[in-house]
Structure 1
């Protein structure tokens, strides 16, 4: 029994230390983003733009395809039950709310984890193994302002933007079913979706996506900076970054969903 309690305590303690390390790294990146420029520490704008292109623009084709089919699947699944109650006209409402509140931000985050979160860990991990980080430190260039901050900026800008696009493509995917099977026109389907949405529904998803972006950037960079010696450790850091990012994104999703639920209209 004592051994079990010791293991549980060690796991909880390790988890809290990990979250604390992520919070510290995020705080330092936020400092160099919002306060540093006013204290003579300029942002690396070109690097941030490059990262934003990689995170956002190059992810658009695959994100569009995935969320389009997710919207179509939502419409098909919703219509399966709604048809029983003669409420097929509510398909547009179900798809719009499902995408904007939950699936749009979550699918976007998972895609960004696979494309960019893992890349952050691999890039920084390789730099550590090849002692490039030591060279930067020798030249009085901090890894956080030089490497982490541009990624942090790109994430907090592009993940909400990608989420907006994912929501649109999901609604468009649902419109395919609505026009084919539910006697909607494209214009009427889009209007029904807009009528179903309130500003709080859209803002809920965007706030989640912002927090997802911060979480993904922090974990990817933290795992890269924590990489051990040897090429094998780079692979382990990359794998750990993906696993921990998915886990903590889901945890953040649960926390914010609960907050918005209890803060919503009673």
Structure 2
């Protein structure tokens, strides 16, 4: 019993630390939009971040989306064992899976690993080498200078998700046709059956919210990290975990709100 009572204060302290971190995160978001950097400088920073965060991520997004679409098609086809079920269901299931979940959510988890780790490590390295302190001494809003361009750049993330949708469905078509699971005509017919345009809108809404999380949560862990070079790696790992958790929770909430 004594051990239980001794444990409770530490548990309460842990909960308080989580609440303090959440509050600090929202304060950081507020500070990002205060005292903006001059536009000529900000424009160059935004273009640099678009190239680094979005353009350089398209290769891995296209590669993964193509094979994910193929795997979904193959697994769907293998589970349609009844001869009374039309082959068009393969195309229908592939379209629904790719548009609703795999393109926006699975791609976002991949982006957390690639982009999120880069953001945390780059900002964390600037903290360790005291470059952030130098910016603040010069009167620059370091949060606006470092985080705001990343938020604006990630607003282009839905374009990457749209590419992931197209490539995923293309990968499903290739797997169906060349794998002998469904004729091209029936697969395309399944893609067109009972199509609801709002599902694409739903995917883009999720993508925008996920993009904001991917830009800000890793920035938070990098900006407020303490220690040396070793802690930069630890901060990157921590940011990956918490950003992934935030995306999974938001995915549930948004699905319930928009499709429930």
Relative to the length of structure 1, the TM-score reads 0.87
The answer to whether 1:235 aligns with 2:233 is yes
The answer to whether 1:14 aligns with 2:17 is yes
Q: 1:184 to 1:251 in 2, by over 3 A?
A: same
CA RMSD of aligned residues (A): 2.2
Tell me which residue corresponds to 2:78: 80
| Secondary structure of 1:245's aligned partner | helix
Q: Please list the CA deviations of residues 234-264 of structure 1 after superposition, one character each: whole Å capped at 9, or x if unmatched.
A: 11111111111111111111111121232xx
Tell me which residue corresponds to 1:136: 135
The answer to whether 1:127 aligns with 2:126 is yes
Structure 2 Cα separation of the partners of residues 151 and 259 of structure 1: 27
Q: 1:71 to 1:196 in 2, by over 3 A?
A: farther
Q: Please list the CA deviations of residues 171-224 of structure 1 after superposition, one character each: whole Å capped at 9, or x if unmatched.
A: 011101332324432x76445424443121111111111111111111111011
Tell me which residue corresponds to 1:103: 102
Tell me which residue corresponds to 1:163: 161
| Secondary structure of 2:225's aligned partner | coil
Alignment of 1:132-211 (within 5 A): 132-155=131-154, 157-180=155-178, 181-185=180-184, 189-190=187-188, 192-211=190-209
For structure 1, the residue ranges without an aligned partner over 5 or more in a row are none
Following superposition, the deviation at residue 5 of structure 1 comes to 4.5
Structure 2 Cα separation of the partners of residues 183 and 142 of structure 1: 57
For structure 2, the residue ranges without an aligned partner over 5 or more in a row are none
User: Is the Cα–Cα contact under 8 Å of residues 223 and 241 in structure 1 kept in the other structure?
Assistant: yes
User: Is the Cα–Cα contact under 8 Å of residues 120 and 235 in structure 2 kept in the other structure?
Assistant: yes
Following superposition, the deviation at residue 22 of structure 1 comes to 2.6
Q: 1:28 to 1:232 in 2, by over 3 A?
A: same
Q: Please list the CA deviations of residues 42-62 of structure 1 after superposition, one character each: whole Å capped at 9, or x if unmatched.
A: 371121111111111111111
Following superposition, the deviation at residue 14 of structure 1 comes to 2.9
Tell me which residue corresponds to 1:65: 63
Tell me which residue corresponds to 1:112: 111
Q: 1:88 to 1:190 in 2, by over 3 A?
A: closer
Structure 1 Cα separation of the partners of residues 70 and 5 of structure 2: 52
Following superposition, the deviation at residue 7 of structure 1 comes to 4.7
User: Is the Cα–Cα contact under 8 Å of residues 72 and 94 in structure 2 kept in the other structure?
Assistant: yes
Q: Please list the CA deviations of residues 59-102 of structure 1 after superposition, one character each: whole Å capped at 9, or x if unmatched.
A: 11111111111001111111122233523221111111111111
Q: 1:9 to 1:205 in 2, by over 3 A?
A: farther
* Residues paired across the two proteins, number: 254
Q: 1:16 to 1:92 in 2, by over 3 A?
A: farther
| Secondary structure of 1:227's aligned partner | coil
